Amino acid sequence: MNNRTTDIYEVMQTQRAIRRWTDEPVDRETIERVIQAGCWAPSGSNSQPWGFLVVTDDGIRERLAAAIRDMFSSRFSGDMPDPDDIDDPTTRRMMRGAFNLFDNFAAAPVWIIPCLVRVQSPAPEGLLAGSSIYPSIQNMMLAARAEGLGTVLTTPQDGIMDQLREELRIPDNATPVAMIPMGHPNANFGPVTRQPLDNFLHWNGWSD
């Protein structure tokens, strides 16, 4: 199935979180186009304070995925009910998605790990971090969707940071801020479900 599209509005409207992938490999040229899209993002003072780790090695993905599963299980064991026992449908869906994702994390043939690299800037560090790295992440996820690839933004890296740094030889001045599994989707793209615009839009002052 050809899921590619160059219509930016279609890309945004159909960029679902994809948590299951086929075993079809993603070629290096496509991966580099996705990363290039991240490099086109704006950053404070054009500092471009990023580095992008791409993980395609099966052994590395398996080892880190096992660490993520162990971290997730230990963190929530005893504190988190079975997703099927949760009454709220939104919470139930969220927890099912999390369990399924971390059970299948290694199945994504590509991981992108964006890292914030310390730079000198007049902007406050916290503001610089958020304003500079997340536009880059969104660019990459939109580019992946345009290429017909599925992604989901995840943040388990803090729970396995020591192993992540050791396994991938990440220097002290680089901080992983997310982990983005990417691959050919074993699911359908389609219109995202969102509340109406009027629920969020306020003209010339906040309205009730």
**Domain residue ranges in the chain:** 8-199
pLDDT tens for each residue of the chain, 208 residues long: 568 888 999 999 999 999 899 999 999 999 999 999 999 999 888 889 999 999 999 999 999 999 998 888 777 655 655 555 656 666 666 666 666 777 788 999 999 999 999 765 544 455 555 677 999 999 999 999 999 999 999 998 988 999 999 999 999 999 999 999 999 999 889 888 899 999 999 999 998 6
Q: CA separation (Å) from 13 to 70, 108, 193, 201?
A: 34, 23, 9, 18
SS (H, E, C) the chain: CCCCCCCHHHHHHCCCCCCCECCCCCCHHHHHHHHHHHHCCCCHHHCCCEEEEEECCHHHHHHHHHHHHHHHHHHHCCCCCCHHHCCCHHHHHHHHHHHHHHHCHHHCCEEEEEEEECCCCCCCHHHHHHHHHHHHHHHHHHHHHHCCCEECCECCHHHHHHHHHHHHCCCCCEEECCEEEEECECCCCCCCCCCCHHHCCCCCCCCC
Q: 8-199: what fold?
A: NADH Oxidase (3.40.109)
Query: pTM, whole model, 2 decimals?
Result: 0.85
